[in-house]
Chains A and B, each alone.
Chain A
């Protein structure tokens, strides 16, 4: 009898107030980035419900950093909403991702509409994640999304340059991506459940490079037997 009840209450769709959004040991469910240093600094990863902010310029690789998080959220089979601005999602890139079929791209003409669409997506309970690109986000709007996202068990990821937000935003995680010569760092302005930290080194490889060819040429040119083929 107790075994059958135990199996029932462990079912992920059975709601238990005291366990809401928490794991069996009482901790809030978190989704790891897959980067040891960063996950440690974030107390295990991104809280599964709520808002997070990434301060990054276009092309700094925010999606690469979030890949593991997005894959975990996509496992729920709910919708992932993309609110891009002002760029377009590349269909060829999207088709290579496992969450293509559950993604919707919502095109808006202004940020007020984008915020409205984000709120509707959260409230609908049909979405597991909202990826929102903004030029800036007001702390008040971020707080509103944070409260809604926690209430409706949705992950909202706000990507913005961050120039106009000197203070930490009232969200679960407020982080900035930065590049220093050869290394990538994450600066955590705010983390729920942990202290802010600066300069957390992360692995952030390029999607492709000519390093294999360069290395091959270097090795080829250093070989005495093949010196005749040295290229200038």
Chain B
């Protein structure tokens, strides 16, 4: 076996820099457990800030430093996203730690006709993701990890060369617990070469089995078992925001990132969706869940971004949002229409895009088609159906009827002249809404043609207008 290990030392900072490319002030990620710097930007290094410094020391060195709290969830989600991206070019992938990915190079040598070809592709893929990474290779994942963390940044095909680099590595680059490392330090063992030179039996007398297992892996004798990574069948991504966002439109730039990943995921699998579900984690309130629907299933980023922006304009947050999750679980195979140049029917795509925009901005029940129903009471005839669910219309005519109806009939208050009628409607005695009315066509002095009726109490109402 020949493993490549990719170590991502500043994933959370990389994501922050992607989201805020305009940020030039020093930025650090603070580990909440001991309040020390664990990741820092180039500007922070220039300002003299070093890993392991406390918050007070950081702010003393540069008062305008941006401080982000470390989130294991966020890095885990990013790592899964990177593994999904790499899965396109490599098959055997292991998410070995919270910030590292191991790739089995053995089957790739033949596929890519040489490791150099694969490494060039791999570096290009990761560069497109705009993440900082270090790498190393070895016969076990543990060897490759130590070399990657030691910034060897070379893929050695000969095990002897890998061992040579390994022996010069500091114990700080290993996964040994801090307590054991301190013990070894006290007896003068500071490099991995010194540790490997010790007989295992002697080490076994002083340290536990986990250390022995780890050392066997470092020596390339035995690889501990790892489960291989498989991309999810449904897309879901969690994103920790660098700071709490107070207004919904302000979330757009962050949603764009997960939306881009979602569309890439769909495009690579020739899938499409018409529904995206977002869950916003609010700082002081319950999570806010909303769904964005498109008129048709597709995977176009610009179209989705526009629909999401329209939806965000309508949303009011109860409290600032600290993180968000995009879930896309209604997937269908992408089936584009093929239309000839001179085909008379136009593309339904434009129609569906329009429908999606209208629904996103105006609400899910804003766009309807009008279908006739078998009901003489016009108060109940104002039934409109959603265009997504067309049903065959009834062809039954219903007398002389106006184009426009009032939501509630209004008392007739102006002088009119009756020109047609009556048409009696007497129905509904079998339910709780009986109607007995005489309908007339009446005209006002201004020429307005009203649809009026007289009820049993001889009261007159306007019910509609002839358009």
Complex CA–CA separation, A172 to B10 (angstroms)? 61
Stretch from B45-53, B85-93, B231-239, B399-407 contacting the other chain: B399-407
**CB-defined contacts of A120 to chain B, threshold 8 Å:** 354, 357-358
Q: Is B149 an interface residue (CB 8 A)?
A: no
Chain B residues contacting A127 (CB-CB under 8 Å) are: 354
Question: Would you give the 0/1 interface string for B366-397, flagging 1 where the beta carbon is closer than 8 Å to chain A?
Answer: 11111111000010011110010000011101
Number of A-B residue pairs having CB atoms within 8 Å of each other in the complex: 174
B291 at interface, CB cutoff 8 A? no
The answer to whether A126 and B346 touch (CB under 8 A), given A60-B446, A91-B383, is: yes
Chain B 331-375 near chain A by CB (<8 Å), digits 1 or 0 = 000000000011111100011011101100110011111111100
A120 to B383, CA, bound (A): 25
Question: Interface-forming stretch among A34-42, A105-113, A142-150?
Answer: A105-113
A87 to B405 Cα, complex, angstroms: 6
Q: Which residues of B contact A77 (CB under 8 A)?
A: 344-346
- Contacting residue for B368 out of A59, A104, A125, A177, CB 8 A: A104
A116 interface residue (CB < 8 Å to B) = yes
Within 8 A of B (CB), among A36-89: 57-64, 77-79, 84, 86-89
The interface residues of chain B lying within 8 Å CB-to-CB of A103 are 369-370
Cα distance A178–B449 in the bound complex, in angstroms: 13
Q: Is there a chain A Cβ closer than 8 Å to B447's Cβ? A: yes
Q: Does A121 contact B (CB under 8 A)?
A: yes
| B residues in contact with A92, CB < 8 Å | 372, 378, 381, 397-398, 401
Q: Which residue of B lies closest to A178 (CB)?
A: B447
A220 interface residue, CB < 8 Å from B? Answer: no
Q: Is the beta-carbon distance between B441 and A208 smaller than 8 angstroms?
A: yes
Give the Cβ gap from B441 to chain A, nearest Cβ, in Å.
6
A11 B342 Cβ-Cβ under 8 A: yes
Q: Is A1 an interface residue (CB 8 A)?
A: no
Q: Which residues of A contact B393 (CB under 8 A)?
A: 95, 100-101
**CB pair A93 B362 closer than 8 Å:** no
Q: How far is the CA of A117 from the CA of B394 in the complex (A)?
A: 29
Interface size on B, residues (CB 8 A): 58
Q: Is the CB of B369 within 8 A of A105?
A: yes
Closest Cβ neighbor of A8 among chain B residues: B342
> Nearest chain A CB to B110's CB is how many angstroms away?
51
* Chain A: minimal CB distance from B452 (Å): 11
- A91→B378 CA distance, assembly (Å): 9
B420: chain A residues at CB < 8 Å are: 206-210
Per the bound structure, the CA–CA distance linking A196 and B405 in Å amounts to 33
CA distance A70 to B342 in the complex (A): 24
Q: Point out which of A101, A106, A126 has the most chain B C-beta atoms below 10 A from its C-beta.
A: A126
Known interface pairs A95-B395, A116-B361, A178-B447; A124-B351 also in contact (CB < 8 Å):
yes
B447 touching A94, Cβ below 8 Å: no
CA distance A77 to B345 in the complex (A): 8
Could you say which residues of chain B place their CB within 8 Å of the CB of A108? 362, 366
Q: How far is the CA of A90 from the CA of B467 in the complex (A)?
A: 10
Q: What residues of chain B lie closer than 8 Å to A94, measured between beta carbons?
A: 370, 372, 403
Residues of A within 8 Å of B448, CB to CB, are 57-60
Indicate if B56 sits at the interface (CB-CB under 8 A).
no
- Residues B441 and A90 in contact, CB atoms below 8 Å apart: no
Q: Is B466 an interface residue (CB 8 A)?
A: yes
Whether a CB of chain A sits under 8 angstroms from the CB of B464 is yes
Output the least CB separation between A75 and chain B (Å).
11
Specify which chain B residues have a CB less than 8 angstroms from the CB of A91 in the assembled complex. Answer: 370-373, 381-384
Question: Can you show 20 pairs from A to B with CB atoms below 8 A apart?
Answer: A13-B341, A59-B450, A61-B466, A87-B464, A92-B378, A92-B381, A92-B397, A95-B372, A95-B393, A101-B369, A106-B366, A107-B365, A117-B361, A117-B362, A206-B420, A206-B466, A207-B400, A207-B402, A208-B419, A209-B420
A residues with CB within 8 A of B:
11, 13-14, 57-64, 77-79, 84, 86-96, 100-101, 103-108, 113, 116-117, 120-121, 124-127, 177-179, 184, 206-210
Interface pairs A-B: 8 shortest CB-CB = A179-B447, A59-B465, A63-B467, A124-B354, A59-B448, A95-B372, A126-B351, A87-B404
